[in-house]
């Protein structure tokens, strides 16, 4: 056998292990079967280092280098569910590509995903994973995404996968009518998963639950 990545998975990355994760997500309240199907069929072990692959289908965040983490599957599912709740999404902006796992999940459920990452070493790996999986509806850029990607907007949804202290007005300005932003707003041990909507010029936000993400950081590296 070569040491090429086995996308189907064996042992701790097998289909049986993935089924167990999906069962757990269902128990935790994830209801959207389209999302559960995508999580079931997306090889999360391809998004982390081989040394950690045996833990890929645990419902936990895992290190991906550069002091960053791949998000917990429950959080990926929950954020995706909130974004999809009001109907199909055409254009989605993601700030914080990281491993590319959340990007890959969204790309299979929406028309087009735009993703920004400030650490080139992470973005390069994520992009090679998109290619490996044949995901062609993702546009990416190595950039500080704090102010969004105005040239590609407006977006039906924006997902921020690192924690900002507040939602920048620039992001709200890039939302299409009726669009929504989901982000872990706060800092340190005090972050709330927050949905911000923009309907007929009226901006409102709703807090969903406490979460723990790495901080949104300015600048590129």
- Interacting residues toward ligand SAH by CB under 6 A: 68-71, 95-96, 98-99, 101-102, 116-119, 122, 144-146, 161-162, 214, 216-218
- What minimum distance in Å lies between the beta carbon of 204 and ligand SAH? 24
Q: Which of 14, 41, 71, 99 is catalytic?
A: 71
- What minimum distance in Å lies between the beta carbon of 19 and ligand SAH? 21
The rounded Cα 204 to chain-centroid distance in angstroms is 22
14 flagged as catalytic: no
- What minimum distance in Å lies between the beta carbon of 104 and ligand SAH? 9
Nearer to ligand SAH, 99 or 110 (CB): 99
Nearer to ligand SAH, 122 or 182 (CB): 122
d(CA 101, CA 98): 8
HEC sequence for 108-175:
CCCCEEEEEECCHHHHHHHHHHHHHCCCCCEEEEECCCCCCCHHHCCEEEEEECCECCCCCHHHHHCE
Nearer to ligand SAH, 1 or 188 (CB): 188
Q: Which of 14, 174, 41, 161 shows the shortest CA–CA distance to 102?
A: 161
Residues marked active site are found at 71
């Amino acid at each position: 056998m070569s040491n090429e990545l086995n996308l189907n998975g064996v042992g701790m990355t097998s289909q049986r292990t993935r089924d167990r994760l999906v069962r757990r997500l269902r128990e935790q309240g994830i209801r959207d079967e389209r999302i559960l199907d995508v999580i079931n069929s997306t090889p999360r072990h391809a998004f982390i280092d081989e040394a950690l692959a045996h833990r890929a289908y645990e419902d936990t965040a895992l290190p991906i280098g550069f002091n960053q983490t791949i998000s917990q599957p429950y959080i990926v599912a929950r954020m995706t569910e909130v974004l999809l709740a009001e109907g199909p999404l055409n254009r989605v902006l993601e700030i914080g590509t990281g491993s590319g796992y959340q990007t890959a999940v969204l790309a299979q459920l929406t028309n087009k995903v735009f993703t920004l990452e400030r650490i080139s070493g992470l973005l390069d790996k994520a992009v090679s994973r998109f290619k490996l999986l044949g995901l062609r509806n993702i546009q990416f850029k190595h950039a500080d995404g704090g102010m969004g990607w105005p040239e590609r907007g407006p977006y039906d949804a924006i997902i921020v996968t690192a924690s900002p202290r507040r939602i920048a007005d620039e992001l709200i300005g890039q939302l299409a009518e009726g669009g929504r932003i989901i982000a872990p707003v706060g800092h340190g041990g005090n972050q709330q998963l927050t949905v911000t909507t923009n309907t007929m010029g009226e901006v409102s936000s709703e807090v969903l639950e406490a979460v723990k993400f790495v901080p949104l950081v300015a600048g590129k590296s």
